[in-house]
Amino acid sequence: MPSLTTLSSPAHYVQGEGAMSLLGRHLSPIGSAPLLVADDVVWGLTGEVIEQSLSGADLPVARVGFGRFTTVAAVDDLVATIGSGGHDVIVGLGGGSAIDAAKAAGHLAGIRWASVPTAASSDAPTSALSVIYTDDGAFLEYRFFPHNPDLVLIDTQIVADAPAQFLVAGIGDALATWLEARATVRGTGTTMAGGRPTRAGTALARLSWELLWDNALPALDAVRSHVVTPALEAVVEANTLLSGLGFESGGLAAAHAIHNGLTAAPPTHGLSHGQKVNIGSITQLVLEGAPTAEIEDFIEFTTRVGLPNSLTEVGLGPDDIDLLQTVAETAAADGETIHNMPFPVTVDAVVAALTAIEPISRRVRRERGLSEPTPYEAPA
Ligand SMILES: [Zn+2]
């Protein structure tokens, strides 16, 4: 097999204040009978603007609700709805779950698909893959598609009106992108796009990291005041476009594999993807022996952002030996992206790194005058 480099991207990306009012105009070249996938909360916030926008473009409005997780059954239900309604494009509207379900259903049904996130809470919208979960929210599998969405559209005023914790989660997901792309390019593994990283994929991952360090804190201030500022625009682009292209074409490594491992530990249920990914990031930094200053700065920055960087904050502790073992075994399973690290990774090494983040986080936060980790309790 020749060693190829690849880049995968959506056909069209649209971001800005009020962008939702242009959804009809951007959808009409893609299809004439869209199916919108949105839960009742998302539809309550966006339905009116979308109905106006679609009727302005002579498109019919058809919407189905959506549950909590992207499960096999949820995807199959959408495929049935596409068939019975004669739809030719499916639009995932809301958070990562509805978007991933729409992509997977569009692929199975053989129609086109678009992502319309209502928060910058993950980098799911741009990619040509979906993550499928069990009914309990445990990681089941990645599904890969032959192409990316035809359209990704994100309205930054809607992001500014969403709860700040969504943006925090997206920052956690996006901070991992550079750490994982950096590890992948140092090693010999392949990216989700199916080859070695392109220089473009690696550079976009790095740009995402730089924008976040400069803009994450003022962007969170803006969201708490429900206003759109250049800092928020930068973070939305970093979380959605740059992290999306960067993870898919720059490579995933330990951080996302450890996230997948954490989904197998019930005490972490109820935490967002980005919160668990951040535990993956700090654990990867320890696992790879990153410079102490880099680890300490990462702990300070993510504490200020409001992301967990200790076991306590995800409902675990260094004494939960069996659970940490399960997390590490899941993270280091055959085929997991942890094997993109530029050195062999063992289950024991992952357990050691997970155990070590607790005292490191506590010490750094104490030394730098930051809050102590608050214990997390999963919802019953
Ligand atoms: Zn992610």
Same domain, 276 and 172: yes
Q: In the chain, pLDDT over 70 holds for what percent of residues? A: 99
| 114, 168: one domain | no
Q: Are 229 and 203 members of one domain?
A: yes
What's the CATH code of the domain at 292?
1.20.1090.10
Can you tell me the distance from the alpha carbon of 9 to that of 12, in angstroms, rounded to the nearest whole number?
9
Domain shared by 146 and 212, yes or no:
no
Instruction: Determine which one of 26, 87, 107, 256 is catalytic.
Output: 256
> Does residue 322 share a domain with residue 173?
yes
The number of folded domains in the chain is 2
Are 155 and 168 part of one and the same domain?
no
Residue 73 and residue 202 share a domain: no
Is it the case that residue 34 has pLDDT exceeding 60? yes
Catalytic-residue membership of 173: yes
pLDDT in tens, 287-336: 999 999 999 999 999 999 999 999 999 999 999 999 999 999 999 999 99
Q: What is the pTM of this model?
A: 0.96
Based on the fold, state whether residues 342 and 194 are members of the same structural domain.
yes
Q: How far is the CA of 112 from the centre of ligand 1 (A)?
A: 23
Evaluate if residue 53 carries a pLDDT over 70: yes
In a domain, 9, yes or no: yes
> pLDDT tens digits for 211-269?
999 999 999 999 999 999 999 999 999 999 999 999 999 999 999 999 999 999 999 99
The residue-averaged pLDDT of 340-349 equals: 98
Q: What is the pLDDT of residue 2?
A: 63
Query: Per the residue annotation, which of 107, 273, 322, 339 is the catalytic one?
Result: 273
Give the mean pLDDT of the chain.
Answer: 96
Report the separation in Å between the CA atom of 28 and the middle of ligand 1, taken as the mean of its atom positions: 30
Q: Does any domain span residue 372?
A: no
Domain assignment present for residue 378? The answer is: no
Distance 57 CA to ligand 1 centre (A): 34
Q: Is the pLDDT of residue 378 over 90?
A: no
The pLDDT confidence band at residue 1, using thresholds 50, 70 and 90, is: low
* 207 plus 220 within the same structural domain: yes
DSSP string, 66-118: --SS--HHHHHHHHHHHHHHT-SEEEEEESHHHHHHHHHHHHHHT-EEEEEES
Residue 27: CA count within 13 A, CB half-sphere? 34
Q: From the candidates 259, 269, 322, 339, give the one annotated as an active-site residue.
A: 259
Report CA(173)–ligand 1 centroid distance (Å): 5
Same domain, 222 and 156: no
Q: What mean pLDDT comes out for the span 25-53?
A: 97
Q: According to the model, what pLDDT value does residue 3 have?
A: 81
Please indicate, yes or no, whether residues 28 and 149 belong to a single structural domain of this protein.
yes
Distance CA 254, CA 184 (A): 10
Q: Does residue 373 fall inside a structural domain?
A: no
Ligand 1 centre and the CA of 260: distance in Å? Answer: 10
**Candidates 100, 150, 155, 173; catalytic one:** 173
**Is 273 in the active site?**
yes
Query: Would you state the structure tokens that stand for residue 150, as one six-digit string?
Result: 């035809």
Q: What is the per-residue pLDDT for 262?
A: 97
CATH number at 96 reads 3.40.50.1970
- Residue that terminates a domain, selected from 135, 160, 185: 160
Q: How confident is the model at residue 187 (pLDDT cuts 50, 70, 90)?
A: very high
Does the residue 134 lie in any domain? yes
Closest CA to 312 of 363, 371, 355, 375: 375
The CA 192 to ligand 1 mean position distance, Å, reads: 12
Q: Structural domain of residue 177, as residue ranges? A: 164-367
Within this chain, do residues 31 and 174 fall inside the same structural domain, yes or no?
Answer: no
Predicted local distance difference test score (pLDDT) of residue 67 = 86
pLDDT value for 106: 98
Task: Tell how far the Cα of 41 is from the centroid of ligand 1, in angstroms.
Answer: 23
Q: Mean per-residue pLDDT for 187-197? A: 93
